[in-house]
């Protein structure tokens, strides 16, 4: 399996001649921009700008009051339902999606098989050196537990607990963005109602009717755009990332347990075939 980035062969080998997968590469060799996410964001912004300029007067779509009402109201409503920590973690998770994690389940399987062969040839202490150069916290924790001589059952329990906690946090971040997506159109509707009330109260003043009507309509636009071009797509992106990372962690757990038991790499390869089949199906 060859690692390619932008059409270039990025396969690296360590000092012992084993191929370095993204799990074992230094961070400087990894994390290119997530192309699909960047293209999607740029395309969405371009479509909005095109729509605004198609009418000849894009300033009509700029309404600070409506923007603050929709975004501020959405944030306030989300904070009522979730804790501040949950919102911070969700925002951090969205920033992390800008960098594409190259460690796919198939690459993790190949990495674990190579590692199992190295342990079979050189002993369990090769894991200590391997753990020092890995950015993956879950994999590094597992390698450290195995090389420190923790029992197989204790290692499995610790890694399972960590995997369950991180998965729950990932899904909580998905819920935060989905909740924001549900609130944004409602905040836009509230802005519309406020604008209409102001307009009705200013019918005797023709100069005030226009700005009030503009806020009424633009607030609804802001809510719909925020929900359907940002909040819900981000929730979907985080959901896919959470599923892939959970799958990768299950593969890692299975591989590390096999290495801790000093099983034959052939047995590990047969055990991981089910994950490979699930990925290719």
Encode 182-208 in three state secondary structure.
HHHHHHHHHHHHHHHHHHHHCCCCHHH
Residue listed under structure tokens 């740029």 = 42
Residue 32 predicted with pLDDT over 70: no
Is 146 within a domain? yes
In three-state secondary structure terms, 245 is helix
The answer to whether residue 195 is domain-embedded is: yes
Question: What is the tens place of the pLDDT at every residue in 237-249?
Answer: 899 888 888 888 9
Distance CA 231, CA 31 (A): 23
**Token pair of 85, please?**
């920590």
pLDDT value of position 191? 86
CB 214 within 8 A of CB 202: no
The answer to whether 215 touches 63, Cβ cutoff 8 Å, is yes
Q: How far, in Å, CA of 215 to CA of 31, rounded? A: 42
pLDDT in tens, 58-71: 667 778 888 899 99
Residue 174 forms part of a structural domain: yes
Asked whether residue 205 is domain-assigned, the answer is: yes
234 belongs to a structural domain: yes
pTM of the model: 0.74
Separation between Cα atoms, residue 32 and residue 5, nearest integer Å: 8
Residue 38 falls inside a structural domain: no
Indicate the number of domains in the chain: 1
Q: What is the pLDDT of residues 208-248, one digit of tens each?
A: 666 667 777 888 889 999 999 889 999 998 998 888 888 88
Rounded Cα distance between 222 and 70, Å, is 7
Is 187 within a domain?
yes
- Indicate whether 42 belongs to any domain: no
- Write the secondary structure of 64-129 as one string of H (helix), E (strand) and C (coil): HHHHHHHHHHHHHHHHHHCCHHHHHHHHHHHHHCCECCCCCHHHHHHHHHHHHHHHHHHCCCHHHH
Return the structure tokens found at 157.
Answer: 């329990």
More confident residue, 72 or 6: 72
- Owning domain of residue 167: 69-96+120-281
């Amino acid at each position: 399996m060859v690692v390619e980035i932008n059409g270039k062969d990025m396969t690296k080998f360590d000092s012992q001649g084993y191929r370095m997968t993204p799990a074992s590469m230094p961070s400087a060799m990894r994390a290119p921009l997530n192309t699909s996410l960047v293209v999607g964001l740029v395309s969405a912004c371009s479509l909005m700008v095109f729509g605004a300029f198609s009418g000849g007067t894009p300033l009509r779509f700029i309404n600070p009051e409506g923007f603050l009402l929709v975004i501020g109201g959405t944030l306030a409503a989300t904070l009522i339902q979730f804790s501040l920590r949950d919102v911070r973690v969700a925002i951090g998770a969205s920033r992390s999606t800008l960098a594409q994690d190259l460690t796919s389940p198939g690459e993790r399987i190949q990495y674990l098989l190579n590692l199992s062969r190295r342990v079979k040839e050189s002993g369990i202490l090769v894991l200590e050196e391997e753990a020092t150069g890995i950015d993956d916290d879950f994999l590094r924790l597992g390698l450290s537990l195995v090389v420190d001589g923790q029992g197989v059952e204790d290692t499995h329990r610790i890694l399972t607990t960590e995997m369950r906690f991180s998965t729950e946090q990932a899904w909580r971040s998905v819920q935060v963005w989905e909740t924001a997506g549900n609130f944004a159109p409602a905040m836009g509707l509230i802005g519309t109602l406020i604008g209409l009330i102001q307009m009705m109260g200013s019918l005797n003043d023709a100069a005030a009717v226009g700005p009030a009507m503009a806020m009424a309509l633009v607030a609804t636009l802001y809510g719909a755009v925020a929900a359907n071009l940002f909040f819900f797509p981000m929730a979907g992106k985080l959901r896919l990332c959470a599923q892939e990372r959970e799958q990768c962690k299950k593969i890692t757990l299975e591989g590390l347990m096999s290495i801790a038991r000093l099983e034959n790499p052939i047995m590990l390869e047969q055990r991981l075939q089910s994950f490979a089949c699930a990925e290719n199906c």
